Amino acid sequence: MKIGSRKIRETYLPFALPDTDGTEIELVTESIQSGWLTTGPKTKQFESAFKKNIHAEYSIAVNSCTAAMHLALEAIGLKAEDEVITSPYTFAATAEVVRYFNAKPIFVDIRSNDFNINVDLIESAITSRTRAIIPVHIAGLPADLDAIFTIAEKYNLAVIEDAAHAFPVRYRERMIGSPPPSSNIMHAVCFSFYATKTITTGEGGMICTNNEEIAERCRVMALHGISKDAWKRYTAEGSWYYEIVAPGFKYNMTDIAAGIGLAQLAKAEQMRQRRQKIAQRYTQAFASLPHLQTPSDRDDCQHAWHLYMLRLNPDRFPGLASLPNPDKGGDGGVRAAFIRELKVRNIGASVHFIPLHLHPYYRETYGHRPEDFPVAYREYLREVSLPIYSKMSDDDVTDVISAILDIVEQFGE
């Protein structure tokens, strides 16, 4: 058969799709009909239901995870010239929020087994200016939190978790979002409800913490720095009087979004279990092939399976290496060709992530070179994320597997 002519399925399988049904529509309609379109009772209900789910004392709903991380860093008092340790293997948001303060993101390389920050390298990155660590639970597999908390306590650092991929998921005995074992650590966890995340509100985010001061500061700063329950000022028990205590932001969640969130929250664990089944099928199909490396799991944690991060062994694909590479991304040629071949077979795929230190802004601002974080660079070049979402049917999963086996057969050796 001619290269690129193989049809696995008639219609294109998107890389990601939200899982919504009548309940979202019902609750959004309720919000609209109630007259509370912006922050109101539905947002409060979503906040309580969410914090109950992950066993946190305080939860503040906002309009993105980026906003959540910005507020959390503001609440811990991050200042210009401070340093924040994080992984280069993440989305733009994780480091840009540090730059909002004119503070400096200090990247620490990842582990090759699971793309999470290599905790063994953290201590040597700490200086007198270090204020916080932002671990990213990449793909939904928790980072080594206990080790991170130990370091944070020893050096008096805050820990702000980027849990954009990590809901709902258990780390050892506790849910991601729960407080650390030691109450000496300044700590907050930030979740994302972006359209393609494990639960969605369209756009949205949540800050969870057990620290009353962080919670109070985030709540005030999320709505213009207005002192007390600003959202209540138009209710019967509210008052027209308010005080601005700081120049805050406009980061509040709307009741329309919270309606979607409440519907999503009710089926979050069911959706996670469906993704886990899909991951099991992929791993079963690919684990024995020398061409591919399946993602690792941990016995002591759950995996939220927000992403299925497959890796190619490029040496095993001589047939792909020789194809022209029209995509940017230089030496990831085999991976780029692999994604194009998936597309020819009507399967969507993506790459997570282009490490931050490779992007022009971070390269130019800090003089980073690709090899500065060699594991992140090397693993990025061979990473392909496969579709994994609860709306996928068993046949969809079969199609992804068939397409990959077909590519391996046609181009592998």
Ligand X SMILES: *Cc1c(COP(=O)(O)O)cnc(C)c1O
Applying CB under 6 A, the residues found at the interface with ligand X are 64-66, 90-91, 93-94, 136, 162, 164-165, 192, 194, 205
* 353 cis-preceded (ω within 30 degrees of 0): yes
Which of 65, 218 has the CB closer to ligand X? 65
CA angle (264 as vertex; 171, 30 as ends), nearest 5: 145
* 168 cis-preceded (ω within 30 degrees of 0): yes
Integer angstrom CA distances of residue 356 from 89, 362, 380: 7, 7, 11
- b/e 234-249 (16+ beta carbons within 10 angstroms → b): eeeeeeeebeeeeebb
Which of 71, 401 has the CB closer to ligand X? 71
Work out how close the CB of 160 gets to ligand X at its nearest, in angstroms, rounded to a whole number: 11
Decide: 320 and 411 in contact? Cβ < 8 Å.
yes
Decide: 54 and 168 in contact? Cβ < 8 Å.
yes
Work out how close the CB of 136 gets to ligand X at its nearest, in angstroms, rounded to a whole number: 5
Which of 74, 162 has the CB closer to ligand X? 162
Which of 251, 317 has the CB closer to ligand X? 251
CA dihedral 150, 154, 159, 161 (to 10 degrees): -20
Decide: 7 and 344 in contact? Cβ < 8 Å.
no
Query: Residue 90: CB partners within 8 Å, gap ≥ 6?
Result: 136, 138, 162, 353, 356
Decide: 31 and 258 in contact? Cβ < 8 Å.
yes
- Catalytic (active site) residue 197: yes
Query: Residue 171: CB partners within 8 Å, gap ≥ 6?
Result: 142, 145, 301, 302
Work out how close the CB of 103 gets to ligand X at its nearest, in angstroms, rounded to a whole number: 17
Which of 193, 286 has the CB closer to ligand X? 193
Work out how close the CB of 367 gets to ligand X at its nearest, in angstroms, rounded to a whole number: 24
Which of 94, 285 has the CB closer to ligand X? 94
Work out how close the CB of 143 gets to ligand X at its nearest, in angstroms, rounded to a whole number: 11
Q: How many CB atoms lie within 10 A of CB 1?
A: 8
What is the token pair recorded at 163? 């849990």
Work out how close the CB of 90 gets to ligand X at its nearest, in angstroms, rounded to a whole number: 5
- Among 7, 154, 197, 228, the active-site one is 197
Annotated catalytic sites, by residue? Answer: 197
